Copies of this chain bind each other. A is one copy, B any other.
Amino acid sequence: MPRTKGDHEARRRDVSEAVWRVLAAHGFGGLTLRAVAAELGATTGLLTHYFPAKRDLVAHALDLLAERTAARPRRPATPGLAAVRAALLDILPLTADAIASNRIWVSSWDTALADPALSDDYARKYARGRARLTDLIAAAQDLGELPPGDPARLAAGAQSFTLGLVVQALFDPATFPPPRQVELLDDYLASLTPPP
């Protein structure tokens, strides 16, 4: 039976919540219309109304991932090296939410790599992340907290390091608990700064 109140916006949020729960529980490969509908307590009829085809559901899931990643709480930091460190710490799976988010992220790579259009999208997304990081690094260089050099090159390196640490921490959380991750990141940052 149709809902008595047509609160469209709220219903849209409910759908997104259900999609997120399915992703967290079964990964990107387990994202099916029926799984989302069951999580929502509804039927596939509802979903086809919001998403004409499966690819639209997948696109929405990717948007959701990007949106929640962008909207995650950031730790405050003064400009300079501290801001670079904060930005990288914000990426790492240090909290339960961040773990869930990163797991979904990694699990989406299978789908993304199989579709050139999605691959391009991801390439652009990561490029934007590197661009933001480049700005932070350039600012730190201006403050003399990082040695001179192409900031884009440093950003690419820092992003690689962090991304790889995410993957390792997800597969082996026992070996890479939050303190260890922070330790390794600080090692990396220390290696960038010249010894006193």
With A160-B165, A163-B163, A168-B163 known as contacts, the answer to whether A153 contacts B184 (CB < 8 A) is yes
Interface string of A169-196 (1 = CB under 8 A from B): 0111011100000011001100110110
Please name the 6 residue pairs, one residue from A and one from B, whose CB atoms are nearest each other, closest first.
A164-B164, A163-B164, A160-B164, A123-B172, A110-B110, A160-B165
Inter-chain contacts of A192 with B (CB < 8 A)? 191
Bound Cα distance A182, B156 (Å): 12
Q: A153-B183, A160-B162 are in contact. List 12 more A-B contacts (CB 8 A).
A: A29-B110, A106-B110, A107-B110, A109-B171, A123-B175, A126-B171, A156-B176, A160-B165, A163-B168, A164-B164, A164-B165, A167-B167
**Which A96-119 residues have a C-beta within 8 angstroms of B?**
103, 106-114, 119
With A107-B110, A109-B110, A110-B109 known as contacts, the answer to whether A123 contacts B163 (CB < 8 A) is no
Bound Cα distance A164, B91 (Å): 13
A82 to chain B, nearest CB (A): 19
Inter-chain contacts of A153 with B (CB < 8 A)? 183-184, 187
Bound Cα distance A28, B29 (Å): 10
Bound Cα distance A84, B37 (Å): 50
A119 to chain B, nearest CB (A): 6
